[in-house]
Amino acid sequence: MSLLQASASTLSSLNQALAAQGGPLTLAAPVMEFTVTAQAGSSSVSLNNFGSTYVKRTLIAPGVLNPQGSTAVSFDPATGKLSFVPSVFTGKPDGTTEVTIKRNSNSFYTVVKSGRTFGDITGHWAKASIDLLASKLIITGTSATAFQPSQMVTRAEFAALITRSLGLASMSSGVTFSDVGASAWYTDAVKTAAAAGLITGYTDGSFKPASPITRQEMAAIMAKAMKFTGKSLNAGPAALAKFSDASVIPAWSREAIAGIAAEGIIQGRPDGSFAPQALATRAEAATMLEKTLKSLQFIN
């Protein structure tokens, strides 16, 4: 394993990416390149994907950082893309901040200060979750100023949200869906989520990317995501007892819903039901993702 400071050209490219992001992003730590190589005799090969194994690395930011408005990011010089990286912030006695990064691939890493909100979530019950995940570069608005918290989430959108939340580098298992084209905005996210075993398609070979995702589908994906990172979910059927409609939750989703209910990630609807086949809103997705990331200790 090696740790090298980024070159001047990489730093320049990253600053351009920060400026192009469209939000108030400020560099808050050195830009470092972490690499892991396998040595065999006189030759070495870079290992760029560790599957479901999350390796911890540490960056020291020179100053006190608020984890609610800061995040570690990975940077890809080839694409100019900045991405959220699971990261926990710890203030140190000397006034610096230790940022522990967890990721399953190599990259350039740094920490940015970020702050983002939307005009249409003032007073909304999910505002804190939405603001937090926006500052982590996990969620985006439907425009520069709107989030539309009550809008339904599509299956493609949630595939993108879960891959961003886990900090997954692009992967492909060869799984293809008949209705996911090669150049759609969500193609990489769907391929990556499928390769990680987080999503599946339908028996006819389709994925239905534009279809709204249901609450039980979202719960099933989040349970798979937690297991992918090594988290055990062992709740029994009793965990469903809190929901007034527990008897109508389909067999295929009961285990997943019970597991994340036991983790406190889902609370049910105000009337006491889980409503497994109800369509999930953008606000619900944000709050459930926040709770999932905190349960995994992927964010503070």
Helices and strands in the chain, H and E counts = 7, 11
How is residue 201 annotated by DSSP?
-
* 237 vs 235: CA distance, rounded Å: 7
Does one domain contain both 124 and 110? no
Do 237 and 264 contact (CB within 8 A), yes or no? Answer: no
51, pLDDT greater than 70: no
Positive or negative torsion for Cα 43, 45, 46, 52: negative
Residue 1 pLDDT? 44
Residue 6 pLDDT? 66
The predicted model gives 48-53 an average pLDDT of 62
Q: Residue 159 belongs to what domain range?
A: 119-295
b/e sequence 55-66, b meaning 16+ C-beta within 10 Å: eebebebeeebe
The predicted model gives 208-224 an average pLDDT of 96
Each residue's pLDDT tens digit, 156-173:
999 999 999 999 988 887
Residue 9 pLDDT? 78
The full 3-state SS of 83-113, as one line of letters, equals EEECEEEEECCCCCEEEEEEECECEEEEEEE
- Residue where a domain terminates, one of 114, 148, 163: 114
Number of domains forming the structure of the chain: 2
103, pLDDT greater than 90: no
- Mean pLDDT over the full length of the chain: 89
The predicted model gives 228-255 an average pLDDT of 91
- Residue where a domain terminates, one of 53, 83, 114: 114
Does one domain contain both 51 and 123? no
CA distances 40 to 87, 202, 218, Å, are 32, 43, 43
37, pLDDT greater than 90: no
Q: Is 300 a domain residue?
A: no
